[in-house]
Amino acid sequence: MTITQLQYVLAVAEYQNFTLAAEKSFVTQPTLSMQVQKLEDELDVLIFDRSKKPIRITEAGQKIVAQAKNIVNEAERIKDIVDQEKGFIGGEYTLGIIPTIMPTLLPMFLKTFINKYPKVNLIIKEQSTETLIKNIQEGHIDGAIAATPLEIEYIIERPLYYEPFVGYVPKNHRLRAADKLNPSDLDISDILLLKDGHCFRDGVINLCKTPKKFENEHFQLQSGSFETLVNLADQDMGMTLLPYLNTLELDEKKQKNLKYFNNPSPAREVSLIYHKSELKIQITQALKEVISGIVRGAIAFQDVKIISPIHKK
């Protein structure tokens, strides 16, 4: 029995197809099939029922796959221990980032990080919170940046920064004359929202104390773009709320439409999250230090009130 064989078993269990598992494992299909067969022969048990399409895991195979995950993780931990002892920060690291954070945060820290840690091969994926959670659990990504708290037993959350909500209020809106906003001023019926599935949308709905299933009476918008919301607001379709970092990119004319909240300002907590097994923790820690250091200088707000997303997976 080898670690490689167990890795192949995990690939087949995930993709339920030998050809696809081989492709994802960067080996030929005959090589992968032969190694899985060797392991089954050694254990004298079938791990996969090949007569089914897609391939199914046998009852004994379910237990073997669960144990294989533990063994492969612990084998990877040995390399982590050695790297930490040597003070080495390098290797491949897959980082997921939710869509409402990626466009503003990534340009702020990426160049600094790769210059400081040139031996890290950073693979970045834009994914929803739900997908990030699933991929962390299954070991497909090493860490992620998402809005928290999530309060999931197997995930560690390390806050990076607290990002205030900012109102974007066009000139003809009822709140235009307000010096600053209060949550009680908001009416969900005239707030432009991101499409369902975005945690920032959930945070706005939660701030307004509105049922999750709220729908605008006049139209339904399915957009994941803050730029779209701003442009619609400029057409007097309502106001919107933006994360603070998104307001830094607005031109001078649009900046005049911004309204900040009275203290404590509603804000979202943005955290670096990862599996409690803490694999590749030295790279995770390096990411936290770089991102926290950069964003701390961009966000000067001190008095904030964290608004949690409605959904906690």
**Whether residue 185 sits in one domain with residue 98:** no
Query: Is 90 exceeded by the pLDDT of residue 300?
Result: no
DSSP 8-state class, residue 218: S
- Name the pLDDT band for 196 (thresholds 50, 70, 90): low
**Whether residue 124 sits in one domain with residue 217:** no
Establish if 97 belongs to a structural domain: yes
Query: Is 60 exceeded by the pLDDT of residue 224?
Result: yes
**Whether residue 80 sits in one domain with residue 99:** no
**Whether residue 77 sits in one domain with residue 224:** no
Establish if 285 belongs to a structural domain: yes
Q: Tell me how far apart the alpha carbons of residues 209 and 216 are, in angstroms, rounded to a whole number.
A: 15
Of the candidates 84, 114, 139, which is a domain's last residue? 84
Establish if 310 belongs to a structural domain: no
Cα–Cα distances (Å) from 175 to 27, 147, 238, 239, 260, in that order, read 61, 28, 10, 9, 12
| Predicted local confidence at residue 216, as pLDDT | 52
| Chain segment 234-260, per-residue pLDDT in tens | 998 889 999 999 999 899 999 999 999
CATH number, domain of 113, equals: 3.40.190.10
The model's pTM is: 0.79
- Encoded tokens for 91: 């290797």
Mean pLDDT is lowest, of 180-184, 213-217, 221-225, for: 213-217
Query: Is 60 exceeded by the pLDDT of residue 106?
Result: yes
**Whether residue 75 sits in one domain with residue 9:** yes
Establish if 308 belongs to a structural domain: no
Structural domain tally of the chain? 3
| Predicted local confidence at residue 222, as pLDDT | 56
Establish if 313 belongs to a structural domain: no
The identity of residue 283, as a single letter, is I
Residue 284: which domain range?
88-160+269-302
**Whether residue 284 sits in one domain with residue 152:** yes
Query: Is 70 exceeded by the pLDDT of residue 230?
Result: yes
- Name the pLDDT band for 83 (thresholds 50, 70, 90): confident
Of the candidates 36, 57, 84, which is a domain's last residue? 84
CATH number, domain of 37, equals: 1.10.10.10
Pairing of strands 258-259, 143-148: unpaired
**Whether residue 174 sits in one domain with residue 120:** no
| Predicted local confidence at residue 84, as pLDDT | 75
| Predicted local confidence at residue 124, as pLDDT | 97
